[in-house]
Chain A
Amino acid sequence: MRRNGPLALIFHTIFVIVMVAPILVVCLVAFTPEGFLSLPTNGFSLRWFRAIANYPEFIHAFWVSLGLGALSSFVALLFAVPAALAIARYRFRGRDALAALFLSPLMIPHVVLGIAFLRFFTSAGLGGSFAALIIAHVIIVFPFALRLTLAAATGMDLSVEMAAVSLGANGWTLFRRVTLPLILPGVISGWALAFIQSFDDLTMTVFLAAPGTETLPVRMFLYIQDNIDPLVTSVSACVIAVTMTALILLDRFYGLDRVLAGKGVTGR
């Protein structure tokens, strides 16, 4: 493979700086010792991180987001794993349509989903409830859970299962002892990716959240609408730190390009 020339490397450097700059600036401003938005030119301070403690709404919203992400990703997998196994293994009529339906939340704008769920859950008397948030998030993270599980299930050597059957395993035992361990990396990565998606969603959740069930992005968004001060940057810095940790783990565990490209869905 040929090398990049100097022009290409200059372009690349500027590109990377621009990609990183907004994230970096948020993290830097979070450490400002001043009482207003500024880069920390006179030393670093943790005052704005300590200030988060005085805003219980942010802390509460963080726990809501965490619980919502964890739970909705888990529930999504309960539905996605059997569906992925069916789609990966069987050629049946309606298979393509089903796969398209299950991936459709990726295509539908989240505003539209937010509106649809708001209308639906309000009519059902569940408006603003945590249960409504869970169900809505299960739908939006489902494609991510399905995609990675599907990739793992498609790549799985079916003869391993046949071998287990020939040795007397069947039904639940077969799934628990053979199938699940083999697709587990995909399932766990699917959970992690689904969690991140749920944890970060603003557009849909902003329609559904009520005081008490506001997630962290919603809380941050509503806060920014009123004013931008260093407090929201320190909260953002925390969110970025959580996501980066999850990201690096995901990359080590599964490979980020595979997670994001959903490779293996179409087979290699």
Chain B
Amino acid sequence: MSTAAEQRSARAPWALTAPALMLFVGVLLIPLAMTVMLSFHDWGQYKGIEPVFILKNWREIATDPYYAEMFWRTFRIAIVTTLLTAVLGAPEAYILNRMSGRWKSIFLLVILGPLLISVVARTLGWALLFGGNNGLVNKLLMSAGLIHAPIPFMFTETGMVVALAHVMMPFMVLSVWAALQRLDPQIENAALSLGAGPVTIIRRIIMPQIMPGVLSGAIIVFSLSASAFATPAIIGGRRLKVAATLAYDEFLNTLDWPLGAAVATLLLVALVLIVVGSNALIERRYAEVFR
């Protein structure tokens, strides 16, 4: 026998979440389902979309090496970008965390701020810096004696990775930063008092503890890089296609919606599998240690 108060509190959460739930079902789940359906429809130059159930688009993606190459490029760029952000972002977060109060908040603002600045503007900045063979970056690298001939950045994967890493860097710093906040502030002193040197402290004490932060940052960076649109479109131009820019072309230039929908569906499914899979792996790996 439940009391009136219990009944009220059983109904209340549903009443409160119902509007949002209906919104999400109506204009998120249904459109997504329609997109998956769309990928099985037929399309012709003159007949447009035909609502039938065929595997034509999926077969095309599976057999035409163009798509395999494009997806491989997409994930390759995402992987290199992820590695770059991890290798540079994790040390930076650590250095940031050791700064004194005022400097810490200033630099945190400087590094995390770009996260909220228009991706178009940021990528435009890189396009200006790369700017052909005598762009600012090449001039700087050559005058520093690091390279002898200019590196082509525009319309190359190198350029895409550099610009993407810049766009994604705040996510990595933030994620590692959050992990560092959970560290006991005395933990380094504890290791020090037991006789550990600076390298040992970083390798044996700090690294293992921020690893979950690096990994969860890597998942975010990877999934956002693999589905990035603005940066590949501006730096990569029309020739160097990745999944997002290809889908965009199919939809707004070629108008082959079903094929574009198939590319998008594949991207979504691949990313969901990778993200859910690696999250599960990380949780299993660190479940014993953390909480």
- Chains A, B in direct contact (C-beta < 8 Å): yes
A interface residues with partner B (beta carbon < 8 Å)? 1-4, 8-9, 11-12, 15-16, 18-26, 29, 37, 78-80, 82-83, 85-87, 89-90, 92, 95, 98, 101-102, 104-105, 107-112, 115-120, 123, 135-136, 138-139, 142, 193, 196, 199-200, 202-203, 206-207, 217, 220-221, 224-225, 228, 232-233, 236, 239-240, 243-244, 246-248, 251, 256-257, 260-261, 263
Cross-interface CB contact of B121 among A8, A80, A239, cutoff 8 Å: A239
User: Which B residues are in CB contact (< 8 Å) with A207?
Assistant: 248, 251-252
- By DSSP majority rule, is chain B's interface helix, strand, loop, or mixed? helix
A-chain residues with CB within 8 Å of residue B32 when the two chains form the complex: 108, 112, 116
Contact A111 B31 (CB under 8 A): no
Q: Is the CB of B14 within 8 A of A92?
A: yes
Q: Is the CB of B166 within 8 A of A19?
A: yes
With A82-B16, A85-B16, A120-B27 as known contacts, state yes or no: A25 contacts B136, CB within 8 Å. Answer: yes
Asked if B214 CB lies within 8 Å of chain A CBs, one says no
Q: By the criterion CB–CB under 8 Å, are A86 and B13 in contact?
A: yes
Residues of B within 8 Å of A225, CB to CB, are 233-234
**Contacts across chains A and B counted by CB atoms under 8 Å:** 250
The interface stretch among B52-60, B65-73, B110-118 is B110-118
Q: Which residues of A contact B129 (CB under 8 A)?
A: 21-22, 25
- Whether, in the assembled complex, B257 has its beta carbon less than 8 Å from a beta carbon of chain A, the answer is yes
Residues in B whose Cβ lies below 8 Å from that of A228: 124, 127-128
Inter-chain contacts of B112 with A (CB < 8 A): 256-257, 260
Please, which residues of chain B bring their CB within 8 A of the CB of A251?
109
Q: Digitize B52-88: 1 where CB-to-A-CB distance is under 8 Å, 0 elsewhere.
A: 0000000000000000000000000000000000001
Q: Which B residue's beta carbon lies closest to that of A20?
A: B110
Number of interface residues of B (CB under 8 A): 85
In the complex, B45 has a CB within 8 A of chain A: no
For the complex, give the distance between the alpha carbons of A255 and B268 in Å: 33
Contacts of A261 in B (CB 8 A): 174, 177-178
- CB contact between B118 and one of A110, A117, A217 (< 8 Å): that residue: A217
Q: Kindly state the separation between the CA atoms of A92 and B234 in the bound complex, as whole angstroms.
A: 46
Which residues of the other chain, B, contact A15 by a CB distance below 8 angstroms?
88, 92, 111
Q: Is the CB of A110 within 8 A of B124?
A: no
Separation of A29 and B88 alpha carbons in the complex (Å): 28
